Structure 1
Amino acid sequence: MIRLHIIVHGRVQGVGFRYCTQYEASHRQLTGWVKNNDNGTVELEVQGEEEKVKQFVQKIGKISPFAKVTKLDITETSPIPTEKDYRIIY
């Protein structure tokens, strides 16, 4: 199991990006969270089987037809074994 912390840059707010990540994560049985940042980026953490997390990361660039991802800052972090779902933080 791996967990990644990701900052997504580009046109990613106001285009359904968070909801799309929640759908994709749930579809792949991944856990974590996603939120908008004040600087226009979206921040998220995703956790699960390594192959499923890699597929999720590959999908981020084209996750919403209205979003335009220009850059991903990805760091590996410690898994949280008690986490049960993927949620949107407001």
Structure 2
Amino acid sequence: MLPSSSGAAPIHRFRLHPRAVAAVRRSMASANPTAAPPPPLPSTPGPKAVHVVVKGRVQGVGFRGWTAETAESLDLAGWVRNRRDGTVEALLSGDPAKVDEMVSRHIPVGPPASAVTSVVTSPVDPVPPSLGFEIKFTL
């Protein structure tokens, strides 16, 4: 017992015997035998793919080569190319977390000589990883 400074009744602490705890757990588990089994764990999501249009100073600064190198380091498939309007477009496909990392952390920064002002993404169908990553001709 702990001393009481307020004059209230003392607090009694007790411990249950491990067998008593086990018996209570067993009875609780068997109390509802028709309970539904736990839901299955979420399955691993499939590949994700996005089409990206990058605006700013992104041509003539090595953006396509940098994009291909960065995408390959993240095991992404797809392609990148310059467009006649001065933008760069890419298709990035692979693990959803790595696609998100590329779009949110790498593309907005770009290579050292670039100055990205906008990144516009839209979902597309994934491409097979066996295609790898390529640099395409200007569209």
Q: Per-residue CA shift, 1:24-75, capped at 9, x if unaligned?
A: 0000110000000000000110000000111111211112000000001100
The alignment's C-alpha RMSD in Å is 1.1
Q: Does residue 65 of structure 1 match 2:112? A: yes
Taking the aligned partners of 2:112 and 2:54, their CA distance within structure 1 comes to 15
Structure 2 residue ranges without an equivalent (≥5)? 1-46
Aligned residues: 90
Structure 1: 4+ residue segments shifted above 3 A = none
Shift of residue 79, structure 1, vs aligned partner: 1.2
Structure 1 residue ranges without an equivalent (≥5)? none
Q: Does residue 36 of structure 1 match 2:82? A: yes
Contact 2:76 2:132 in 1 (8 A): yes
Instruction: Tell me the TM-score normalised to structure 1 length.
Output: 0.94
The structure with the largest strand share of the pair is 1
Instruction: Tell me the TM-score normalised to structure 2 length.
Output: 0.62
Is the alpha carbon distance of 1:83 and 1:5 closer, same or farther for their aligned partners in structure 2, counting shifts above 3 Å?
farther
Q: Does residue 49 of structure 1 match 2:95? A: yes
Contact 2:59 2:87 in 1 (8 A): yes
Taking the aligned partners of 2:67 and 2:100, their CA distance within structure 1 comes to 13
Taking the aligned partners of 1:86 and 1:35, their CA distance within structure 2 comes to 11
Shift of residue 83, structure 1, vs aligned partner: 4.7
Taking the aligned partners of 1:56 and 1:67, their CA distance within structure 2 comes to 16
Question: Looking at both structures, which has the greater relative contact order when contacts are Cα pairs under 8 Å and sequence separation is at least 6?
Answer: 1
Indicate the structure (1 or 2) with the bigger Cα radius of gyration. Answer: 2
Contact 1:32 1:83 in 2 (8 A): no
- Secondary structure of residue in 2 paired with 1:80: coil
Identify the residue that residue 67 of structure 2 maps to in structure 1.
Answer: 21
